[in-house]
Structure 1
């Protein structure tokens, strides 16, 4: 599922997405899935690391796909994830319609260039329940597991369940 989610976001942004944005989009996809269904989309054990959500499997998936479905290009200090020579279409991923709608909502809300858009995305991600639970008690250099269920617990609390 991880590679399909990466492809979805890269294809739908037409390759105009930074690695930072992509990682945050993947985190939000898993987070929203847990929030509403209680289950993650991916098998990732998300970590708080270097100020944000992260998992090494994302880097490995990007390396496997690099030069094929996607291409990683460094422009200055920013790594962009662009369309590769074997890039397909979103429809080829055979994702359920409901999932595609959720993913597209993430893309529409947070895709775009410029530091303002990125800062808004980072601010939003850092205020999610799993991030709030760890960011004040751990150092950015520490690798601390994030509990995505905290977001579901927050929703249940808000709904009085």
Structure 2
């Protein structure tokens, strides 16, 4: 079975109330991601973006090659959120990162060079994406859109691998 990753928007004011308590944060993220009826459909106004099995690639690209520390979670919770691990990105960091991601999106050549220079042998399912640089750039573009839209709504982001 393959592991997949996803980003989802979370309520900003509520996130700040539970930021310092990992137990409360885990429960908060689970409630933000999963509705009370047990469905996998996200609660409104949760916006969900799946990076599927490219989660490790996204992390290596954003935090490694492009130097966007915190882009896959400033606070990580191992074993939480009904998955392997999850993380949260504060509202303030989503705002800052959205601006940096937008600037990078305008520098397509730099992003494509970073994508091409990843060590795909060390990345989960990396061999699949090694020849799919346009697909990877598309994921980067969609993730940028999620950051920008969440920032505009004053939301933080959750990140989960399941």
TM-score by length of 2: 0.28
Tell me which protein shows more helix as a share of its residues: 1
